[in-house]
A and B are shown apart, each in its own frame.
Chain A
Amino acid sequence: MQPVLLIDFGSTYTKVTAVDLSGPTLLGTAAHFTTVETDINEGLNNALGELSKKVGTLDYTARYACSSAAGGLRMITSGLVPELTAEAARLASLGAGAKVIKVYAYELTEEDIEEIDALKPDIFLLTGGTDGGNRAYIEQNARMLAQCKTRFPILVAGNRSSTTTCLRILEGREVTACPNVMPKLGALNIEPTQNEIRALFLERIIKAKGLSTAAELIDGILMPTPAAVLSAMELLSGGTKTTPGLGELVGVDLGGATTDIYSIAAGHPDHDAVMKGLPEPYAKRTVEGDIGMRYSALGVLEAVGVERLAELSGLSEAQVLAMTEHISAQPDSLPDTEDYAALDYAIACAAIETAVTRHAGHLEEIYTPTGPAYMQMGKNLTGVTKLVVTGGAIIHNQQAPLIARHAFYTESAPFSLKPKTADIYIDRRYILASMGLLGQNHPDAALTIMKKELEYHGTAE
């Protein structure tokens, strides 16, 4: 037996997972409330206590952890044009597992600097200009940032001709230079910046957030939780040297406050559509901060309208309004009546519909003298045939496979490029983040366990 412990310090729960590498098998999982205010170890020890009741006391050969506790990794980014470098910076941060709390474009104003001071980001990502392109904006924004009263690490990843100037302007602060996130127009280079974000997370953020005491007893807090989930999705999709993966996939992580969508897919056009806009990363993550089952239930209501939730739930519009209000104010509430279960079902369907629509690319039809022509913005996911569903708010719902179908393409929105037919997999044991962690050192074991433990629910359309 070669037991390994995986820990996920969440904002509300600390989840622990024990695996045996020599199987490789999943031994068990447990969870307990996170206790950031007092001592993060308390939540961890309680969770471990519960785990040992299930799997016995094990002599772990390694312990790995990820964290989204204490607000996760909060980032602010700035770029030049909103659709270009500002978007590249946002995509880079999201893919590194950050929570992007603000994106600025063009020049930072005095008010923006005040806002940044008030928001106190964990990291600021400063970009703008292609290599050899515009220098004025990024340098001006560096001068503005130098006026911030709060201290936070700054990553400079814009026009390389401006890097030295920016470093000089920001002297005395914690600044790191990275290669440009958009070295040429329409070409992304976000990985080096993502590696730097992760390194900063390890070195600095963990300490700042009081997680370091916990860090001593484990072999390193490896990454922010969303980065671990993304990593698991990539492993599940791409496989390892010896074992094939599932191929291109879309992942849905439905939570109480946010809904994350992942796509591991090229997303090329399949019509004779012309690609427009920034090319998107093969492994793409988006976060919908207004879409979720509890804190963000009202955001779902706002996004789809009360009629839609009434239609999906079979409740009256008045009921939907009152009950949605109630659950968003009581984020711990469980769907303990038939009506509340129906509402949960409706909100989950609508949340997935909305979040996947925002994540997926779309077509725009343009009328030309010879008939319609099409432009594709974002990724075409119509040909993706695997859908993976995770998230505490959905995996225990018996209707999860039905809810998952709301990620699909519909005739009523033919220009939204969502998957048409896909095999549905549900992460019932809630192990994706752990497997992303395990996969850093033991990809084959992580892949085998995922393939075994993800519940297959047939093909749907």
Chain B
Amino acid sequence: MEKKKLVLGVIGADVHAVGNKILDHAFTHAGFEVINLGVLVSQEEFIEAAIETAADAIVVSSLYGHGELDCRGLRDKCKEAGIGDILLYVGGNIVVGKQPFEEVEQRFKDMGFDRVFGPGTSPDEGIAFLKKDLNITE
């Protein structure tokens, strides 16, 4: 079967590069085709990459605390660009400091993210959900 494609990147003015490399490696190893945009990725870049490659999911990381601002409007722009149904994940240290995760998760789901992962989530957890959401069985 053809590999499922993920567009991966660290959104906004965020330069934390280490986690991104680990995720690239882990997702690739798990059988995905990873289109890694690296750090300092704008919403437009995520969307344009997803359009050209016909990606199955956009996986956003945010580590530096401004995730909420950076992610706002991403789903709407996807709809505008004709990929409104694409799977959207976000993870990392997506908000400032320690806030109750359920509240944070709800805020990001309201923004249109399908799955939201808190600090310290292992790549494996993300992989398990991706397989489930993209109907990968094996």
Contact = CB atoms under 8 A, between A and B. Distances in A.
Interface stretch (A112-120, A129-137, A227-235): A129-137
B52 A185 contact: yes
Given A373-B15, A373-B40, A182 B64 contact: no
A141 interface: no
A86 to B, nearest CB: 10
A363 interface: no
Interface residues of B, number: 21
Contacts of B5: 132-133
Given A367-B13, A368-B13, A373-B13, A274 B53 contact: no
B35 A185 contact: yes
A55 interface: no
Nearest to A136: B54
B81 to A, nearest CB: 9
B39 interface: yes
B53 A130 contact: yes
Nearest to B35: A185
A128 B51 CA distance: 10
Nearest to B48: A81
A134 B15 contact: no
A366 interface: yes
Contact of B40 (A81, A83, A274): A274
Contacts of A133: 5, 52-55
Contact of B15 (A80, A130, A368): A368
Interface in B68-88: none
B52 A182 contact: yes
Interface string A118-130: 0000000000111
A84 interface: yes
A105 to B, nearest CB: 10
A373 B48 CA distance: 23
B112 interface: no
A212 interface: no
A93 interface: no
Contact of A84 (B39, B48, B65): B48
Contacts of A80: 51-52
A375 B40 CA distance: 8
A81 B52 contact: yes
Interface string A362-380: 0000111100010100000
- The residue in A85, A132, A185 that gathers the most chain B C-beta atoms within 10 A of its C-beta is A185
A81 B51 contact: yes
B27 to A, nearest CB: 15
A276 B45 contact: yes
B52 A135 contact: no
A373 B49 CA distance: 23
B123 interface: no
A366 B40 contact: yes
B13 A185 contact: no
Interface in A128-157: 128-130, 132-135
Contact of B54 (A85, A134, A366): A134
Nearest to A135: B54
A129 B52 contact: yes
B118 interface: no
Contacts of A85: 52
Interface centre among B13, B14, B33, B64, by most chain A C-beta atoms within 10 angstroms, is B13
Contacts of B53: 129-130, 132-134, 185
Interface string B25-54: 000000001010011100001001101111
Contacts of B64: 368-369
B2 interface: yes
A134 B40 contact: no
B52 A130 contact: yes
A369 B12 CA distance: 12
Contacts of B14: 368
Q: Which of B15, B35, B39, B53 has the most CB of A within 10 A?
A: B53
A81 B54 CA distance: 12
B54 to A, nearest CB: 4
- Which of B33, B52, B53 is most buried by chain A, counting CB atoms within 10 A of its CB? B52
A182 B51 CA distance: 13
Contacts of B66: 369
A274 B39 contact: yes
Contact of A132 (B13, B45, B54): B54
A80 B51 CA distance: 8
A80 B83 CA distance: 14
A83 B48 contact: yes
B4 to A, nearest CB: 11
A366 B64 CA distance: 14
A275 to B, nearest CB: 9
Nearest to A131: B53
Query: Ordered nearest first, which 8 A-B pairs have the shortest CB separation?
Result: A133-B53, A368-B13, A134-B54, A81-B48, A133-B54, A130-B53, A366-B13, A185-B35
15 contacts: A80-B51, A84-B49, A84-B52, A129-B53, A132-B5, A133-B52, A134-B51, A134-B52, A185-B52, A274-B38, A276-B40, A366-B13, A368-B13, A369-B13, A369-B66
Interface of B: 2, 5, 13-15, 33, 35, 38-40, 45, 48-49, 51-55, 64-66
Interface of A: 80-81, 83-85, 128-130, 132-135, 182, 184-185, 274, 276, 366-369, 373, 375
Given A80-B52, A132-B53, A373-B13, 13 more contacts: A83-B48, A129-B53, A130-B53, A133-B52, A133-B54, A133-B55, A134-B53, A135-B54, A276-B45, A366-B13, A367-B13, A368-B13, A368-B14
